[in-house]
A and B are shown apart, each in its own frame.
Chain A
Amino acid sequence: MEQKNTTISFSPDSLELVNKIIKRYPEGKERSALLPILHIAQAEFGGWLSPEVMDYVADLLHLLPIEVYEVATFYSMFNLEPVGECVIEVCQTGPCMLNGAGEIIKHLEKKFNIKVGETTPDGKFTLRAVECLAACGTAPVMKVGTEYHENLTTEKVDELVNHWCKCGKMSHLNPYQE
């Protein structure tokens, strides 16, 4: 497939990682690398997958753009619209609900003065309610990037958010790096 003219490209480090990942799958099965590469792309290109980014990934893997779009739209971790710098995802499923996830979500809505699914006007925080994060024994739980925060209370949430405000927290970082 011809390489399209595109204004974006992975950093050399990311490109090296991407090529390493592609080699994990048998020859001719490079498409298997699509999910990990979309994760890396989302982290590197501002926390979401624009059509331009998806086209770039399609080119890299010699796929049709539609083959990337249909996958990106299936999985809930891929953002198809811009998000804030720090995406806060609070689990809202069963056991977390039994242990106060609803209060945590309400507290964050009030704190940021936004509703679930929205981003603060300054573009710093996006608040989400997500399904089971597999941490029910330490409910309620939230995920920020690749970090889990467990046994939440409103006080603990305040502490974390205040800290994140000060340090300019980013949630979309290369998930393969600590």
Chain B
Amino acid sequence: MGKKILTEHISDPNLHKLEVYQQHGGYASLEKALKKMTPDEIVEEVKKSGLRGRGGAGFPTGMKWGFIDKKSDNPHYLVCNADEGEPGTFKDRYLMQCNPHALIEGMILASYALNANKAYIYIRGELYYVLRILEKAIAEAYAKGFLGENILGSGFSLDLYVHPGAGAYICGEETALIESLEGKRGNPRLKPPFPAVSGLYNCPTVVNNVETLATIPWIVNHGSEEYAKIGIGRSTGTKLISASGHINHPGIYEIELGVTVDEFLNSDQYCGGVREGHSLKAVIAGGSSVPVLPADLILKTKAGEDRLMTYESLSDGGFESGTMLGSGGFIVMDETTCIVRNTMNFARFYRHESCGQCSPCREGTSWMEKILARFEYGGAQAEDIELLVDISKNIEGNTICPLGDAAAWPVASAIRHFRDEFEEHIRRNGCYFE
């Protein structure tokens, strides 16, 4: 079994209670950090740990913290991105529901490091029942003196609140999230300025994913060196993988970065293999936005090496033959899956979730869905394949935020790796799967 950082005690049904969390060593890092470490020392530790943003982009967390504008006279803010909405990803919900204090502890440490006295957890509105769990846990932390004025006599104060979204995938993009937290439509902002300079209420702000923040207590407790020992190369530490689709054991698994895709997919410790009597057709390894890969390319790189569950190995070969670790949403499809239908389903998702600000995304997502429907229901022409490729290329890189890319990549990769299936849909004038 690999190292467990976030899920070590998660089988304890009472872990959500502060007392139980403390029995398992919870909140021990506060004493150390707030009394013996300076904020800059914590930032340095996080930098050295190699921890990368677990929301999907994989940007080094310590570096992001280092960008905070210290010269600004404005207050600093920490915002937790709990707007988990990437199809195939359901780890943050699980983490907040079962281990809310890990997130709270991580946010206290991060706020101290960033000199923020107010922090918000922006949680997707559908998860109100998790919001209630978080509010209870926060109330417990206030009662213990871990939140509020002068925490543990350190002179540092922090208020922490939970804020619900209301059903908009785009608010997972950090500048859209900030707009939404300000009570506006979730339209992403142009960058620069980046949030570290001008974020919430135009003040220096760091936005971090739930899993990222929940990892901080372990790093403070055990040190960056211990953390960096886990994993391979620039993919340090552990990662929560959400496994779904046609597998024997769907669920959430904390892996040490670096296990092989083959082991993750087929070992009983993890997915337990493709469901009985079926064979692997394709995998979307990092949430619906990343390129889909056929069975051979997900298990081995083009050079024939074992593909690993790391940022680097999954992207080996670029988009020609690789994909991305993304948010760790691992969606497995067996031979009964129609790639065209699946791509159309995601195209509908992105059309629905496009905020409408940028024409290429607003118009392009709608066109892609309509054209894919011609393949699925009949009426597609030979030139429609190139038309889809053309539209996807015109969206990619031409929008304010990455939703455009996220909508374009699934379509482009489906055609790249499963062109014959699109052609067969044209020949048969519609879908031939059950």
Contact = CB atoms under 8 A, between A and B. Distances in A.
Interface of A: 24, 26, 29, 31-36, 38-39, 61, 70-71, 74-78, 92-95, 97-99, 130-139, 143, 146-148, 175-176, 178
Interface in B156-194: 159, 161, 163-169, 180-186
A71 B125 contact: no
B85 interface: yes
A94 B246 contact: no
Given A32-B181, A95-B88, A136-B90, A26 B118 contact: yes
A32 to B, nearest CB: 5
B89 interface: yes
B342 A178 contact: no
Given A34-B183, A134-B126, A94 B166 contact: no
Interface size, B (range) = 35 or more
Contacts, number: 150
B72 interface: no
B124 interface: yes
Contacts of B428: none
A32 B251 contact: no
B90 A137 contact: yes
B201 interface: yes
Contacts of B375: none
Contacts of A139: 244, 250
Nearest to B186: A74
Contact of B164 (A31, A36, A99, A133): A36
Contacts of B185: 70-71, 74
Contact of B250 (A97, A136, A146): A136
A35 B165 contact: yes
Contacts of A137: 90, 242-244, 250-252
B32 interface: no
A77 B163 contact: no
A141 B35 CA distance: 46
Given A39-B128, A76-B352, A132-B85, 7 more contacts: A29-B182, A35-B180, A75-B125, A77-B126, A148-B129, A175-B128, A176-B128
Leading 5 A-B pairs by shortest Cβ distance:
A75-B166, A77-B167, A34-B183, A31-B183, A136-B244
Nearest to B284: A94
A36 B161 CA distance: 12
B164 A98 contact: no
A129 B221 CA distance: 45
B245 A99 contact: yes
Interface string B270-307: 00000000000000100010000000000000000000
B96 to A, nearest CB: 11
A131 B129 CA distance: 18
B345 interface: yes
B167 A29 contact: no
Interface stretch (B105-113, B260-268, B329-337): B329-337
Contact of B132 (A77, A78, A131, A176): A176
Contacts of A97: 341-342, 345
Contact of B166 (A39, A135, A136): A39
Contacts of A71: 183-185
Contact of B349 (A26, A35, A132, A148): A132
Nearest to A92: B345
Contact of B246 (A98, A134, A135, A136): A98
17 contacts: A71-B183, A76-B167, A76-B352, A77-B126, A78-B167, A93-B345, A94-B288, A95-B87, A99-B244, A134-B85, A136-B250, A137-B251, A137-B252, A138-B250, A146-B128, A176-B131, A178-B132
Which of B128, B284, B331 has its CB near the most chain A CB atoms (within 10 A)? B128
B182 A95 contact: no
